[in-house]
Amino acid sequence: MNTYERVKRGDVDGCSIGFNIVSERTDISDNGDVHWTIEDVELFECSVCTFPAYEATSISARENDYREIMKRQTEAWKENMKARLRNGVKTVDAAQED
C-alpha cells in the first residue's frame, strides 16, 4: 500500500521535518520575554509519519481538491478557446494582446 492510501485512510496524519537553521532573529521584549524567529533553513528531510516530531503538523489526502482545481483549469481553458474563436484570435491569448 502506498503512502497516499495510508493518509487517505487516516492511518498516517503527521509530518516530521528535519532542517538546519541558516539564519534566525532573536527579539527580547521589555518584560524579558524572548521570541525567536527562524528566517531561513536548510531543509533536508520531510516525512509522512504516525508519530511526528512536531505535533502541530498534519497531512491530509486532497485528491478531491486536486480534481476540482483541474476541472476549473479545464473550464477556464475551454472558455478562453471559445473567446478566441469568437474573436478570430488564432495564435495570441487575449491576455497577451495588451
- Whether the CB-CB separation of 14 and 56 falls below 8 Å is answered with no
Cell of residue 58, nine digits: 498534519
Q: Between β-strands 34-49 and 14-28, what pairing exists: parallel, antiparallel or unpaired?
A: antiparallel
Residue 90 pLDDT more than 80?
no
DSSP characters over 33-65? -EEEEEEEEEEEEEEEESS-SSTT------HHH
Each domain of the chain, given as residue ranges in start order, spans: 1-58, 62-89
- Mean pLDDT, the chain, whole residue set: 84
pLDDT, residue 28, reads 94
Please write the tens of the pLDDT for every residue from 9-20: 888 888 888 899
Q: pLDDT by residue (tens digit) across 10-56?
A: 888 888 888 999 999 999 999 999 999 999 999 998 888 888 877 88
Does residue 28 sit in helix, strand or coil?
strand
